């Protein structure tokens, strides 16, 4: 008999911890290699943790709703025979605390190196080991930690929450040093209007993902100055081309050809032309993204929303784009997305036309600065210009709705970008190969 330590595997570059949502196996149960043992949830994705060996589950070290760091042992599995060697997945586990320490500003760390570690036992709130380590390194008191509005499950403070607090505190200190004192301004707190409930109403608590989405949306509106630009596009050539090749495309490539990859291809090209849209904002700094990673908003069967990411989208041809779109879309519907599938997006596209909407005003996916909504394609009467004169014809048209962050993107850039996307779509060659 040998004991194997099942650890929380690495789930992506920016994922340092996860919450246990359900144990699929009980102590004493037999487990096969690659069989799911428990379900976990990160800030965006729910997923399963499989066993790397066959054996019997002898010990569970964490309970449901516990927050576990990447690399921590979460269960003990007793195997037959000799020692159980961990798979490459276990060997790939990172040390998140060390990585977080690298992100801490050296000046801030040095100034607070002598701070006495906080006594977290004095707090009734739960803080993950990762959050405690950052708080200790940054000299954040328990009182300060308790006042941070957590975006995690049940209001728990996440790594992102505490790092934002560190950055905010540093900015306030710099502001006090570089600016003159001004008269205090009282900002009235905004409270939700009270909701009356009668005997016939049903009260349903939001699920975990809906709470997260709610928090993300409110935070985005409060962070970015949203501005919209709209443009109508003639996609008649695209509609005719797709109708002509879709059967042969699926037969040859084994993939369905929808309009989405064609649109994503045009967006990726436009982002190369206008790199000012492929940026993020961090306080007073602009981060120019090297890679073009397109987020693709997808509706889940339960009505919630998730945004898987197509990495290096500008390097894909139409076939590669179709495969990526279909793969992410199918795995989103079946709950098979991995945490890393939703990380690293630099710009987002959402297809509101799927539900019949002509156009929309989407909310920016932070910390990005733009999001494009694809409206429904409709047959409409249109003026067609020819050398012989103008006449009325039936064309296939759609609206592109571009929301962008007016803090860093002005109307010239925001409007020019969406116009370039439209130009690429209208210039689509109906005789092209795929």
Kindly provide the residue ranges of all beta strands, DSSP E only, lying in 122-255, ordered along the sequence: 226-234
Q: Is 402 considered catalytic here?
A: no
Structure-block tokens of residue 199: 């005997």
Measured distance CA(424)–CA(177) in Å, rounded: 50
Burial of 170: CB neighbours in 10 Å, binned 0-12, 13-18, 19+: middle
Q: Which of 46, 410, 423, 429 is catalytic?
A: 410
Measured distance CA(351)–CA(267) in Å, rounded: 13
* Phi-psi category of residue 71: left, alpha or beta, with phi > 0 → left and psi -120 to 50 → alpha: left
Structure-block tokens of residue 104: 């801490």
Tell me which H or E stretch contains 109: helix 106-111
Q: Any bridge partners for residue 76, and if so which?
A: 5, 59
Task: Look at residues 366, 370, 358 and name the one whose alpha carbon lies nearest to residue 410.
Answer: 370
Measured distance CA(68)–CA(7) in Å, rounded: 10
Measured distance CA(166)–CA(169) in Å, rounded: 5
Measured distance CA(337)–CA(208) in Å, rounded: 17
Cβ atoms of 191 and 372 closer than 8 Å: no
Q: Any bridge partners for residue 69, and if so which?
A: 17
- In terms of residues, how long is the chain? 434
Q: Is 314 considered catalytic here?
A: no
Q: Which of 66, 273, 406, 423 is catalytic?
A: 406
Q: What is the DSSP letter of 277?
A: G
Cβ atoms of 70 and 89 closer than 8 Å: no
Provide the edge-to-edge strand list for the sheet that holds 2-7: 2-7, 73-79, 55-60, 30-31
Structure-block tokens of residue 177: 């040093």
Q: Cite the active site residues.
A: 406, 410
């Amino acid at each position: 008999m040998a004991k194997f330590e099942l650890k929380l595997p690495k789930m992506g570059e920016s994922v340092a911890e996860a919450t246990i949502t359900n144990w699929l196996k009980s102590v004493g149960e037999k487990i096969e290699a690659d069989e799911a043992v428990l379900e976990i949830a990160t800030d965006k994705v729910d997923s399963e943790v499989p066993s790397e060996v066959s054996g019997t589950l002898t010990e569970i070290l964490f309970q449901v709703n516990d927050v576990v760091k990447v690399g921590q042992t979460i269960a003990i599995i007793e195997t037959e025979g000799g020692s159980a060697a961990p798979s490459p997945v276990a060997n790939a586990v990172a040390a998140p605390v060390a990585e977080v320490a690298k992100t801490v500003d050296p000046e801030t760390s040095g100034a607070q190196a002598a701070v006495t570690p906080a006594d977290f036992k004095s707090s009734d709130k739960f803080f993950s080991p990762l959050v405690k380590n950052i708080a200790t390194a940054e000299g954040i008191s328990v009182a300060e930690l308790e006042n941070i509005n957590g975006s995690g499950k049940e209001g728990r403070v996440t790594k992102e929450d505490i790092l934002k607090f560190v950055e905010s505190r540093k900015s306030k200190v710099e502001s006090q040093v570089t600016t003159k004192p001004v008269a205090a301004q009282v900002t009235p707190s905004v409270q939700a209007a009270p909701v009356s409930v009668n005997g016939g109403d049903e009260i349903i608590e939001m699920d975990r993902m809906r709470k997260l989405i709610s928090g993300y949306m409110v935070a985005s509106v409060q962070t970015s100055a949203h501005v919209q630009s709209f443009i109508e596009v003639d996609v008649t050539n695209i509609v005719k081309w797709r109708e002509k090749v879709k059967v042969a495309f699926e037969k040859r490539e084994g993939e369905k050809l929808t309009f989405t990859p064609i649109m994503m291809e045009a967006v990726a090209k436009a982002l190369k032309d206008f790199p000012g849209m492929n940026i993020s904002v961090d306080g007073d700094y602009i981060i120019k993204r090297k890679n073009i990673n397109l987020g693709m908003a997808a509706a889940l069967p339960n009505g919630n929303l998730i945004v898987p990411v197509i990495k290096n989208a500008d390097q894909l041809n139409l076939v590669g784009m179709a495969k990526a779109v279909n793969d992410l879309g199918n795995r989103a519907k079946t709950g098979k997305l991995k945490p890393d599938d939703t990380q690293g997006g630099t710009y987002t596209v959402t297809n509101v036309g799927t539900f019949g909407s002509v156009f929309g005003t989407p909310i920016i996916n932070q910390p990005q600065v733009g999001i494009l909504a694809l409206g429904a394609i409709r047959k409409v009467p249109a003026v067609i210009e020819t050398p012989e004169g103008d006449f009325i014809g039936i064309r296939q048209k759609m609206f592109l709705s571009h929301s962008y962050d007016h803090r860093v993107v002005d109307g010239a850039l925001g409007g020019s970008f969406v116009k370039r996307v439209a130009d690429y779509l209208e210039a689509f060659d109906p005789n092209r190969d795929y």
